[in-house]
Amino acid sequence: MLTVFGSTALDTIRTPTRVLKGVLGGAATFAGISASYFVKTGLIAVVGKDFPKKYHNTLARNLDLRGFKIQEGKTFRYDGSYDETLSTRTTLKTELNVLGNFKPIVPEEYRKSKFVYLANNDPVQNAELIKEFDNVKFSMCDTIEFWIKNKKSSVIKMIKSVDAVVINDEEAKLLTKEHNLIKCAKKIMNWGTKYVVIKKGEHGSLLFFDDVIFPSVAFSLEDIVDPTGAGDSFAGAMIGYLASKRCTNLSTIKKAVVYGNVLGSFAVEKYGLDGILNLKKSQISKRIKHYEKMIRF
Ligand code: AMP
């Protein structure tokens, strides 16, 4: 089983073509749903009493919700706006609400999870949560500008507590104060994690391990409408694939990164979660084959 912990949100997303208000989002939501195509996935997250029933049903259709809590108060809310190129997002508002002082409890059934993903979330909560698992084979975390700016030393502590870090290029630079991505990755590995995956949006990703660098391209697309959650979908697919194989050797991790790129590509094709909801497994395998054909020479 895979456990995913992190934000479940009501997002406001402003793109040049559409504004979505109060839609289901959150790093753990995207990651969990993406992972669920590969393995049974349990979600640990909290929402407020304002969380719409239809969104609860969407989560329940895809995920094990024994770790999901509805608390008095408002759901975490995120408001972000893309520029006309869709490659730069400005955060307009982050309201932690019930996520702010959430004390997550790991359900007994989740404690034996061998794979744990700490999606974007308070790094203090993330680092505490990982200690609750009995026998983790592979753990991974992500972080975002908000936490790097507000809790940088806790982000570094969280990084020490996991096997792998997935992070956007801009955030890797902000966190390490380096300009070169190889230098960024080396610094992050020196903090105590074994693998670093730097996501570069439409330019794919770089996987680092010891002195190995594995670059992988993004699946090329002509029509992108909303990049929100692409990074989370990438990470969810990556760890979901590893969990399904119960294997974490380097060649499996490289394949997992390719699955990450492919699920990330589905995410950006539609607004909000729609790109990764209700996919058929055959659509995923078809795109993997197409990806393989694209990069072969
Ligand atoms: P991504 O586009 O992959 O960076 O992920 C966007 C998702 O992350 C949105 O659905 C937001 O709800 C969520 N998010 C944004 N800021 C934060 C934050 N500070 N902590 C946790 N989740 C966040």
pLDDT in tens, the chain (297 residues): 999 999 999 999 999 999 999 999 999 999 999 999 999 999 999 999 999 999 999 999 999 999 999 999 999 999 999 999 998 999 999 999 999 999 999 999 999 999 999 999 999 999 999 999 989 999 999 999 999 999 999 999 999 999 999 999 999 999 999 999 999 999 999 999 999 999 999 899 999 999 999 999 999 999 999 999 999 999 999 999 999 999 999 999 999 999 999 999 999 999 999 999 999 999 999 999 999 999 999
What pLDDT, on a 0 to 100 scale, did the predictor assign at position 257?
97
Indicate whether residue 27 lines ligand 1 (CB < 6 A).
yes
DSSP conformation class of 23: E
What pLDDT, on a 0 to 100 scale, did the predictor assign at position 178?
98
Indicate whether residue 94 lines ligand 1 (CB < 6 A).
yes
CA distance linking residue 125 with residue 102, whole number of Å: 8
Rama region for 202: left / alpha / beta (φ>0; ψ in -120 to 50; rest): alpha
What pLDDT, on a 0 to 100 scale, did the predictor assign at position 7?
96
Indicate whether residue 234 lines ligand 1 (CB < 6 A).
no
For residues 15 and 27, the answer to whether their CB atoms sit within 8 Å is no
What pLDDT, on a 0 to 100 scale, did the predictor assign at position 136?
97
Q: State the Cα angle at 51 between 46 and 53, rounded to 5°.
A: 115
Helix (H, G, I), strand (E, B) or coil at 136: coil
Burial of residue 190 (CB within 10 Å: 0-12, 13-18, 19+) is exposed
Q: Strand pairing of 9-14 and 19-25? A: antiparallel
Ligand 1 centre distance from Cα of residue 195 (Å): 22
CA distance linking residue 293 with residue 126, whole number of Å: 38
Ligand 1 centre distance from Cα of residue 12 (Å): 11
* Smallest CA separation from ligand 1 atom 5, residue: 229
What pLDDT, on a 0 to 100 scale, did the predictor assign at position 271?
97
What pLDDT, on a 0 to 100 scale, did the predictor assign at position 224?
95
Angle in degrees, 0-180, between the axes of helices 27-35 and 250-269, rounded to the nearest 10: 120
What pLDDT, on a 0 to 100 scale, did the predictor assign at position 70?
98
